[in-house]
Amino acid sequence: MMKQLLQPLLPFFSGLLFGLGLVVSGMTNPSKVQGFLDVGGLWDPSLAMVMGGAVCVALPIFQWILRRDSNRRQHGPVEVRLVVGSILFGIGWGLSGYCPGPALVVASSGSVAAIAYVLAMGVGMLVASRFGALEVARSRGEGK
């Protein structure tokens, strides 16, 4: 009974903690992110410190989960869509200064730029979903 009550709260509080961490570290400020990506100008290394801190916190937890979960999925070859998606993610992050987590946090404050980013991200997800469905249909011979 208690597990059923707590199970939906864990993702909520994890997301809340993640969002709070983004705000406290300044990662919701696009100029801070763009300052990190601008290695030719006035480079701001603080994003690297935030990422390093996140890795130090998350790594022991992931190691524990991997040791505990013997039914995990085996990795296959890297697909073209993963590479293209990663490139698009990086371009969007570099141009806007937002990645999905900080954009959602800032959009909740009413920022027009962040809301536009989140809407564009949603459209991109819908388009990717449609292409994925088309790809599956073609592989089954349904989309000739």
Structure letter (DSSP) for residue 42: S
Q: What phi, psi does 74 have (nearest 5°)?
A: -80, 145
> Is the pLDDT confidence value at 138 over 80?
no
Average pLDDT over every residue of 33-58: 87
Q: Name every residue whose Cβ is closer than 8 Å to that of residue 104 and which is 6 or more positions away in sequence.
A: 19, 114, 118
Tens digits of residue pLDDT in 53-82: 989 988 998 888 888 876 666 777 888 888
Tens digits of residue pLDDT in 119-134: 999 998 898 888 877 7
pTM of this prediction? 0.63
> Is the pLDDT confidence value at 32 over 70?
yes
What mean pLDDT value characterizes the chain?
84
Structure letter (DSSP) for residue 97: S
